[in-house]
Amino acid sequence: MRLGLLFLGLLLLGPILSEYGLKLVSEALILGLYAMAFNLLFHQAGLLSFGQAAFFGVGAYAMALLVSRAGWPFLATLPVAVLASALVAFIIGFLSIRLTRIYFTMLTLAFAQLLYAVAHKWYAFTGGDNGITDLRPAGILGESLPFYYLTLLLFALGVGFLAALERSPFGYALRGLRDNRARAEAVGVDGFRHLLLAFVLSGALSGVAGFLQGALQRSVFPDYLFWTRSAEAIISTILGGSGVFLGPAVGAAAFLFLRVLVQANTEYWPFFLGLLLLVMVLFFPRGLAGVWENLAGWVARGVRRGAAGG
């Protein structure tokens, strides 16, 4: 119900936004979807992935290579982008989801950087650091408003899917594994398979986000696969609050707002990202959602005390 209202609001927002506004809100939706895909792993499965950029980048490169080298229409590349990022997620996940969560985090970072290095050096295939440019989708999707609606549609589908997943038996199994893997496995949940499936789903959704981002920017560069791109999903999630369903999406919007603000004044954006993450982790581990709940609780207590006093 609440989700429906959110989507309706975003639907009505489209025609009143300027070109720049459309681009910014589209980017917020894309980053929101990407961060929510990350949080499927982080919150539901208790897995901290530092390599989400791998799937984001593979989705973007699948689209870009098919459009620019093979002349495919933009939308037709979506299934391939999803499949390619799911496949890469399957391979990385198969190797990374072993033993402990610490291994998982280290290995996701390492494999994602390997893909970055390959994209960076393999000039003949990916164009190296010249990237792939001129990716404006043909037809009306090359215009801002239709593209915004496509982004909104995919965002709504992705978020709806994640909401359904959270309430499904699969979601319960994931949380069980997160809270106590030994017990969850003792009642018959296959830990490795469940975590791997969650990883593949998260990778596929990240691939959709990369597919959209490449078209929005009209270009794809190796930095789509770079580790700071993974940091964007992580920081959006921590900023918004990982424990609330829409927290990562709210965090993504706040993240972009901050980026516009900071980048107008300084080139040292990663420094601010790091500082932001440091402050959130040390003082506000539950993110903006946690700050909001504290404020709400504080106001409610104040009102009650006022009523009791009066």
| Residue 94 CB neighbours (<10 A) | 13
**Residue at token pair 């990663």:** 270
Whole-number minimum distance, CB 95 to another protein, in Å?
A: 5
C-alpha to C-alpha distance for 247 and 37, rounded to whole angstroms:
12
Which residues have CB under 8 Å from 280's CB, separation 6+?
235, 238, 239, 287
Task: Annotate each residue in 262-301 with x if it binds another protein (CB under 8 A) or - if it does not, as one string.
Answer: ------xxxx-xxx-xx--xx--x----------------
User: Which of 1, 5, 12, 182 is close enough to bind another protein by CB under 8 A?
Assistant: 182
* Region of 133 on the Ramachandran plot (φ > 0 left; ψ -120 to 50 alpha; else beta): beta
Residue 77 or 230: the one with the smaller Cβ distance to another protein is 230
205, 52 contact by CB (below 8 A): no
Whole-number minimum distance, CB 300 to another protein, in Å?
A: 27
β-sheet bridge partners, residue 220: 132
User: Which of 100, 260, 308, 309 is close enough to bind another protein by CB under 8 A?
Assistant: 100
Q: What is the largest CA-CA distance in the chain?
A: 77
Q: Is 63 helix (H, G, I), strand (E, B) or coil?
A: helix
**Residue at token pair 């594994």:** 177
What are the backbone dihedrals phi and psi of residue 138, each rounded to the nearest 5 degrees, phi first? -70, 155
β-sheet bridge partners, residue 132: 220
Quick one: which H or E segment has residue 213?
Answer: helix 191-217
| Interface size with another protein, residues (CB under 8 A) | 43
Stretch that binds another protein, among 18-26, 200-208, 225-233, 292-300 (CB under 8 A): 225-233
**Residue at token pair 């601010």:** 272
Question: Does 23 help bind another protein (rule: CB under 8 A)?
Answer: no
Percent helix, strand and coil across the chain, each rounded to 5? 85, 0, 15
User: Which of 109, 135, 156, 159 is close enough to bind another protein by CB under 8 A?
Assistant: 109
Question: Does 227 help bind another protein (rule: CB under 8 A)?
Answer: yes
Question: Does 125 help bind another protein (rule: CB under 8 A)?
Answer: no
User: Which of 3, 8, 69, 98 is close enough to bind another protein by CB under 8 A?
Assistant: 98
* C-alpha 97 chain-centroid distance: 20
Whole-number minimum distance, CB 176 to another protein, in Å?
A: 14
128, 121 contact by CB (below 8 A): yes
Task: For the segment 73-92, give every residue that binds another protein (CB under 8 A).
Answer: none
Residue 18 or 100: the one with the smaller Cβ distance to another protein is 100
Task: Annotate each residue in 38-67 with x if it binds another protein (CB under 8 A) or - if it does not, as one string.
Answer: ----x---x-x-x-----------------
199, 112 contact by CB (below 8 A): no
Question: Does 113 help bind another protein (rule: CB under 8 A)?
Answer: yes
Strand residue runs (E) in 20-97: none
Whole-number minimum distance, CB 105 to another protein, in Å?
A: 6
**Residue at token pair 């429906």:** 4
Question: Does 107 help bind another protein (rule: CB under 8 A)?
Answer: yes
Question: Does 179 help bind another protein (rule: CB under 8 A)?
Answer: no
Question: Does 123 help bind another protein (rule: CB under 8 A)?
Answer: no
Question: Does 142 help bind another protein (rule: CB under 8 A)?
Answer: no
Question: Does 196 help bind another protein (rule: CB under 8 A)?
Answer: no
Chain positions contacting another protein, by CB under 8 A: 42, 46, 48, 50, 95, 98-103, 105-107, 109-111, 113-114, 117-118, 121, 181-182, 185, 191, 227-228, 231, 234, 238, 268-271, 273-275, 277-278, 281-282, 285
